[in-house]
Chains A and B, each alone.
Chain A
């Protein structure tokens, strides 16, 4: 009988804590036209599209006041918290910037060759021909952190007010309508106390609020609960940890791998694989993505990535190379069924990863986020022009439903779930679905909440001891992200800190940033006859300033909330 993290829910009630009426006196509220939460591809595309539409309609622009479009971003700047593989489908960028030459895009261009391998510890078996989900012809290798910065510049040029280092901590709702968001306080101490330079947040009042918070969106989660927008199928997540390397020899193909070091047995449920993309001639992006419904408490995606680098296929690619980037982020993988059943509420729309618009088998989500952001902009403009109110944004949902976002995710709607049965069985079923264009086997394969999966403490893993040249420990990886969060910042992670060892150890190993630690004394006390007693309760140590806000903890029994604006990583190359 094992323990599942869901038995230890975090002390949080998001609908109550993070949704409420404006509290600032009228003259202190900040009025804007449209507020967009999140400076990722979804938010920036929405902002830019809005600016384009407003530029064509002066009357509408005037009606939105001094600040027609405000975008709040919790990272230092848009891009600081962005991370992805990525092989981006360029359709959205083309649509958003019809006059820009593709050579001007901040991407690394297309790659002609691709390869997929099934790995064992020492061998790499090529899968030929390349299975359809892994074909990336015409897609652009992109660093999302760089794309974010580039789009942010375009947005600012177009007149968007970009407010970096600003977290949106509360959804403002009045009479059943979303009227804006409240920005986070700054200058609180570890216990939440007000420090001498304390500055309270502000109420930002807007005619329309667009939530583009990405994976594990804070207000998105609260809004889904408050307005009961959730699907019956819970969302699931994968955790991706990636590195960027400066290499001696250029890589000429896009590579995906499956199998080792993930274990194929149903007992472990380690679903996922790695990606290796060339970034121009002198860099590569290398990452491992694993479903968070794994079971072994000792499993660590970061360390499995370090292990992967020892495989002959990968070692050859990074010989003599230097690591220049690292990061981690979760990806929603519930697909079509787990998407919120409604993408809007009066005055509000949800866009992108926050709304689960990701096609996991093909690892695509960036262009869907951008398309949806543009749909949201267009829908809002339609409503504002027609009568001024954004109470009914069903037109936004209609646009999404009539688009490739729905078509593509519907097609792969049942492809992730079978892997709960282990890699080989799951793989076989997934292949059938692919070949049949999603028709066979049909039906609705249920998703499951990752936190309901019970965990156990497996045998010690053979993760490599970091050598600082090829393999690295978590702390020096966190350092590389530019994370210099002040140590007395309030703890932004909601968690039960006294839990059975198997859950505590699972959190410790899951987190790529070493936020959670089972103190040595506690670990030793739980050792009985040389074996660890997983049921014994231990006190977890939490170091929130390490956090890179990947969101894994929310999937596995805790809750990530946005820390003070500006905190966290400052990704440059991911």
Chain B
């Protein structure tokens, strides 16, 4: 089995971020990390390999991003991926969800994976969608919010959290699975693995290398546009009650709850 793990470099979650007022885009300068949710995906791949139910020939980390994204790949490799692929091209800058999914599908196609794993959301605002977009382009079954994967008889038995509780779904390979952070506790890389990551094979691909059509990517190919960035609506100043007569206070609270249909 060949597993590709899609990883992404995202700005550090704990660092205050700002919008660039000129471009109306997230100011992505400053510290970047491997998207924490992707570490769960890499760990899931490792656990499939170590589980022994199926032989995993290769775990390949794949990313689409600017030059600096190689760091995310190094981190992915230090966590266990055997090699990595970096799709990078100036033409890809400003790609929206649709374009990004399309581009990733093209680079993944070139790898012919049996299983694509990724973190279901990222710290920079994208959530629950890239996996499904990629899967449709690759014409593979897809699931998100997956919190458990078992390999049996060449299929995946997945558990995922849905609207009504937990679903158990059998998925045939090849497939695209987006994992939730509840799926596992990612391992820490050993110092040896961190230092060895630089030496592992890292292939760079341009958009043309994998047959990406220029018109469908980048800011030009984007199907949405940011019209404005505004501060959030000013919250009305809250009401304060000083409790003197608790019975009366409770009455007022219940009235307040009722007004807002919170006692339905």
Contacts and interface: CB of A to CB of B under 8 A. Distances in A.
Contacts of A163: 191, 194-195
Nearest to B198: A161
B192 A76 contact: no
Given A76-B31, A196-B185, A197-B186, A572 B191 contact: no
Interface in B173-219: 185-192, 194-195, 198
A480 interface: yes
Contacts of A195: 185
B15 A572 contact: yes
A166 B191 contact: yes
Contact of A570 (B14, B189, B198): B14
A525 interface: no
Contacts of B189: 199
B13 interface: yes
A183 interface: yes
Interface in B6-24: 12-16
A572 B185 contact: no
B12 A482 contact: yes
A76 B16 contact: no
Contact of B188 (A186, A483, A572): A186
Interface in A28-70: 28, 30, 67, 70
Given A197-B185, A570-B31, A572-B31, A202 B15 contact: no
A76 B12 contact: yes
A483 B15 contact: no
Interface in A183-238: 183, 186-187, 195-199, 201-202, 204
Given A67-B195, A77-B31, A572-B31, A199 B190 contact: yes
Interface size class for chain A? 20 to 34
Interface residues of B, number: 19
B231 interface: no
B16 A480 contact: yes
A389 B31 CA distance: 39
A6 interface: no
A353 B190 CA distance: 30
B196 to A, nearest CB: 10
B14 A199 contact: no
A324 interface: yes
A543 interface: no
Interface in A396-452: none
A314 interface: no
A161 B195 contact: yes
B30 interface: yes
A484 interface: yes
Contact of B191 (A197, A198, A202, A484): A202
Among B12, B13, B186, B188, the most chain A Cβ lie within 10 Å of the Cβ of B188
A187 B188 contact: yes
Contacts of B15: 482, 570, 572
B191 A201 contact: yes
Contacts of A166: 191, 194
A570 B13 CA distance: 11
7 contacts: A77-B31, A186-B188, A199-B188, A480-B16, A482-B12, A482-B14, A572-B30
Interface of B: 12-16, 30-31, 33, 185-192, 194-195, 198
Interface of A: 28, 30, 67, 70, 76-77, 161, 163, 166, 183, 186-187, 195-199, 201-202, 204, 324, 480, 482-484, 570, 572
Question: What are the 3 A-B residue pairs with the smallest beta carbon separation, nearest first?
Answer: A199-B188, A186-B188, A482-B14
